[in-house]
Structure 1
């Protein structure tokens, strides 16, 4: 029996924030969220700067020009985040 490998390229369509999380809506209907504490530049930014985001590529990434921060949708789905040193 053969198996067809499906390549997924998750694409963001909308980004918003709660008091403690970044929330990303994807083109395929899923929603992914992650704690803001994982992203120090985002967690320390003002609401106005957080609201100024743009999609990279076809939605594979998100860029905040005011704070020079980029996140990949694949990284958010994988749960990867910077490791902080104590």
Structure 2
């Protein structure tokens, strides 16, 4: 008998530079996501980007000033979002 353990990627912290969102995962990995993939993040001020909260146990990120929610699992799909698209 085998047991499948699902290891969902969970964030514990995020940081930004001019071009990327860096997502630090609880399992030790770091995911670099181009800000250009998410126009609302790319066009945000530093203060707006820094005003976020992690959702649940780290399944997602909510940017309060931008009213933007993105899932960590969605970052792994590697599909850029277009302007006006809902995450």
TM-score (normalizing by structure 1): 0.87
**Structure 1 segments of 4 or more deviating over 3 A?**
none
Structure 1 position 34, deviation (Å): 1.1
Counterpart of 1:36 in structure 2 is 35
Contact kept, 8 Å, 2:38 with 2:82, in 1: the verdict is no
Where does structure 1 lack aligned partners over 5 or more consecutive residues?
none
Residue-pair matches, total: 83
Report the 3-state secondary structure (helix = DSSP H, G, I; strand = E; otherwise coil) of the residue aligned with 1:29: coil
Structure 1 position 9, deviation (Å): 1.6
Structure 1 position 83, deviation (Å): 4.4
Distance in 2, matches of 1:51 and 1:10, equals: 21
Structure 1 position 79, deviation (Å): 1.2
Where does structure 2 lack aligned partners over 5 or more consecutive residues?
none
